[in-house]
Amino acid sequence: LRGQAPIVIGHRGSSGTRPEHTLEAYRVAIEAGADFIEPDLVVTKDGVLVARHEPVIAVVGADGKVLEATADVATREEFKDRLTTKTLDGVEVRGYFVEDFTLAELKTLRAVERLPQLRGKNYDGQFQIPTLEEVIALVKDTEAKTGRKVGIYPETKHPTYMNEVAKYNTSQLLIDTLKKTDFTDPARVFIQSFEVGNLKDLKMNVMPKAGVNIPLVQLVSSDDEPAYDLKAAGDTRTPKDMLSDEGLKEIASYASGVGPYKRWIIDAEGKTTDFVGRAHAAGLMVHTWTMRNEPTYLLPQYKNDPKAEMRQALRAGLDGFFTDFPATGAEVVRELTTPEVRSP
């Protein structure tokens, strides 16, 4: 849309090669060539934003078995009393939740691989859960040492839940943290969310009051996963509705870009859709998610060449894409763009 090379966004860092949302995952992503790194943001009991994909850091079944985890909390005897059940976006979840821990307590935990059967456990127990401030410090340190101006692409996770259950407005905390760390350059930050109301609040209230203007991106999932705040309010709009021409014009009234699930770009049969052109016509950048290398995430025709899906998506005119393997993503961008377009 801007005549620039598409950006490579390190999805949760280099999460295909390191435990997601750790400083090590972000560092590897930057070294691999990511233009932006993506911290998903949740909040601690004492109001500090930390990088985790979900507020629940270990999901535990009724039999006590850990079903999924990004931290070793379920092995810590001192925290066994924190096991609880909460309703997250309308679904009951049993486990350990970040908002029930202070930052000091979280720092005693260690990250583990969320998909151990697929990606192994070689790095389990080595890395802490980072704060947003620590992620920004890593980016600043990279710039100081190399001159590279890497950006951040934070996602405010489950803002309705954060307001109602965790009792924090994480959008406000995000803007406060960006201002505190002097990291508000609109060329180096995108703010994204699957919900709609918090993006509109950022656009109309939070950012103007703070004197900043950071581009916003409306994330949109598959058609069976409507935006939770719309669903909770009785709004029947589906992702398909949001990504119609009329829906895209509505998104463009408060956001600079749209982040659709990749099957809106390349359908289940591997055919390129007209979505990117329609979004561009509405004035929206398109940053799709998530490109991965593992065959389990690829259509049959791509299983022997994970770059093929990336190439096809980029040829559709994407402005950027999220990938668990930013090294692969950077290689494909170099293949498909000229040096003149790639240069700043």
Q: For 34-90, how does the pLDDT look when each residue is reduced to its tens digit (9 = 90+)?
A: 999 999 999 999 999 999 999 999 999 999 999 999 999 999 999 999 999 999 999
46: Cα separation from own chain's centroid: 23
Segment 239-259 mean pLDDT: 98
* Percent of the chain predicted with pLDDT > 90: 96
pLDDT surpassing 50 at residue 143: yes
Task: Report the pLDDT value the prediction gives residue 344, as an integer from 0 to 100.
Answer: 40
Amino acid at 36: F
Q: What is the pLDDT of residues 213-239, one digit of tens each?
A: 999 999 999 999 999 999 999 999 999
pLDDT surpassing 60 at residue 342: no
CB contact at 8 A, 255 and 249: no
Task: Report the pLDDT value the prediction gives residue 287, as an integer from 0 to 100.
Answer: 98
> What is the C-alpha separation between 242 and 224, in angstroms, rounded?
13
The count of C-alpha atoms lying within 13 angstroms of the C-alpha of 339, restricted to the half-sphere facing its C-beta, is: 0
Task: Report the pLDDT value the prediction gives residue 1, as an integer from 0 to 100.
Answer: 65
Average pLDDT, the chain: 96
pLDDT surpassing 70 at residue 197: yes
Segment 130-145 mean pLDDT: 97
Task: Report the pLDDT value the prediction gives residue 337, as an integer from 0 to 100.
Answer: 84
Structure tokens at 317: 């005119």
pLDDT surpassing 50 at residue 107: yes
Task: Report the pLDDT value the prediction gives residue 343, as an integer from 0 to 100.
Answer: 46
Task: Report the pLDDT value the prediction gives residue 339, as an integer from 0 to 100.
Answer: 64
* Percent of the chain predicted with pLDDT > 70: 97
pLDDT surpassing 70 at residue 110: yes
pLDDT surpassing 50 at residue 211: yes
> What is the C-alpha separation between 330 and 197, in angstroms, rounded?
33
Taking every pair of C-alpha atoms in the chain, what is the biggest distance, in angstroms? 58
Closest CA to 140 of 180, 192, 181, 187: 181
Task: Report the pLDDT value the prediction gives residue 338, as an integer from 0 to 100.
Answer: 67
Task: Report the pLDDT value the prediction gives residue 4, as an integer from 0 to 100.
Answer: 84
Q: What is the pLDDT of residues 297-341, one digit of tens each?
A: 999 999 999 899 999 999 999 999 999 999 999 999 999 986 655
Task: Report the pLDDT value the prediction gives residue 340, as an integer from 0 to 100.
Answer: 55
